[in-house]
Amino acid sequence: MKEFEMFLANLKNRGKATNTLSAFSRNTTEFFKLMNIEVLADLKAMKTIDFNTYLEILENKGNGASTRNAKLSAVNSFCEYLVKIDLLDKNMVRTVDRAKVPSRVSVQPTKEEAQKILNKVKRRPKLHTLYTVLMNTGLRIEECLSLRLSDFRDGYVMVRGGKGDKDRLVVLNESCEDILKNYILNDRKSWTKEELTERLKGDKRLIAKAVANADLIFLGKNGLRIYNSNLNASLTKTAKDCGLDKSIVHPHAFRHYFGTQFVKQGGDVTELQKQLGHSSIKTTQIYFDVDTVKVQETMSRMSF
């Protein structure tokens, strides 16, 4: 659909991140396929009940509430764009109720388990530094893997194009800063174009990608960027080696770990919101919910 191509071009011109563009393209294309949308007239004919049917199809395919809402938001953005350029009279997605997302208790390692994880990879500088940064900053996995050498300054890192395409400063504690600095100076592998050409067997496409990402702080063994799946695989192995449940050894668990530890040290909700890059303080507020340890201590002093 040409109008959709216009929409994607508009997003790109507005400086939206590559991941954002991919998500919009993937989710909206799926919507077109599931609802048999081929031309603009098909979309104009849709009513609220049709969008509800779309959500039911997603649910039957195993999509959770958060995923269904995210996919509907992509369609909503496209329809908003069409209204804005006068190709659609009304955005019917606005009339659709979003799925209620159930509250979940965050699964994360304890301080002792976190230390066990770091000790397990102590002799592997890249993984040790990566895990340390994730645990001590609360960065999202993609934000961490996208850090470039120029983003590291004394006392903080600059996250560019984070969630919502926002830049922010993320503060480093002294220990994390020292470990990151030591890794960059002493352990980080730098690749010349000649080395990349040999390593990648002359594959021009891969070489171009590697050259474009040569200044990433964390690079894979072939000089290419590390992807989420690569890191998740490493974390799963680390969990197994440590005898820990893999549900507490993944990047987002480390993010929850940071948030919880920040609160336990007396951190302020607005400070944590800035550090984590939450657009809404309500999201940050989950880390300030009831401390179960304190509740247990209080209950132990009570008698009935």
Beta bridge partners of 216: 148
Q: Is residue 304 part of a domain?
A: no
Instruction: Tell me the C-alpha distance between 247 and 106, whole Å.
Output: 10
Minimum mean pLDDT range among 121-135, 150-164, 239-253: 150-164
| CATH code of 186's domain | 1.10.443.10
DSSP-H helix ranges across the chain: 2-13, 18-34, 40-44, 48-60, 65-84, 111-120, 125-137, 141-145, 174-182, 193-199, 204-212, 228-242, 251-264, 269-276, 281-284, 292-300
Residues of the chain with pLDDT > 70, as a percent, come to 91
Q: How many folded domains does the chain comprise?
A: 2
Give the mean pLDDT of the chain: 87
User: Which of left, alpha, beta for 31 (phi over 0: left; psi -120 to 50: alpha)?
Assistant: alpha
Q: Is residue 235 part of a domain?
A: yes
Give the CA diameter of the chain: 76
Q: Is residue 38 part of a domain?
A: yes
Q: Identify the domain containing residue 208 by its residue range.
A: 111-288
Instruction: Tell me the C-alpha distance between 71 and 63, whole Å.
Output: 10
Question: In terms of domains, do 182 and 255 share one?
Answer: yes
Are 191 and 206 contacting, i.e. CB atoms less than 8 angstroms apart? Answer: no
Question: In terms of domains, do 128 and 67 share one?
Answer: no
Q: Is residue 44 part of a domain?
A: yes
Question: In terms of domains, do 148 and 199 share one?
Answer: yes
Q: How confident is the model at residue 251 (pLDDT cuts 50, 70, 90)?
A: confident
| CATH code of 38's domain | 1.10.150.130
Question: In terms of domains, do 16 and 57 share one?
Answer: yes
Provide the pLDDT for residue 290: 46
Q: Domain boundary at 29, 60, 95, which? A: 95
- pLDDT tens per residue, range 24-58: 899 999 999 999 999 999 999 999 999 999 999 99
| pTM of the predicted model as reported, rounded to 2 decimal places | 0.68
